[in-house]
Amino acid sequence: EDQVTQSPEALRLQEGESSSLNCSYTVSGLRGLFWYRQDPGKGPEFLFTLYSAGEEKEKERLKATLTKKESFLHITAPKPEDSATYLCAVRRGSQGNLIFGKGTKLSVKP
């Protein structure tokens, strides 16, 4: 069964304290792993798409990496405005829809 598991469920950091979020997945025919940011009461906002093991992408304080079984979202020197829920999703090979994990709720305190 296709599955996406994110950990930790919640993460509290001090401003400037770097850390990583994990997304492990099992899916037949992976056609992309996606990271989104979701603020309360809003729809997900696109961050990254990764397609093959070893691929890395960066955007400001965020860096996403991918292996054959998991992906990491590294946050370097986070700021309070980085507080949000970060969602990981994989695209199924045959259907094209996304399967989401439950997300990691990140809180960054000043």
97 touches other proteins (CB under 8 A): yes
Q: Which helix or strand (DSSP H or E) is residue 103 part of?
A: none
- Are the C-beta atoms of residues 86 and 35 closer than 8 Å to each other? yes
Phi, psi of 13 (to 5 degrees): -125, 155
Q: Which of residues 63-92 bind other proteins (CB under 8 A)?
A: 87, 89
Closer residue to other proteins, CB minimum distance, 8 or 16: 8
43 touches other proteins (CB under 8 A): yes
C-alpha 82/C-alpha 80 separation (Å) is: 5
Catalog residues that contact other proteins under the rule CB under 8 A: 4, 32, 34, 36, 41-46, 49, 87, 89, 95-103
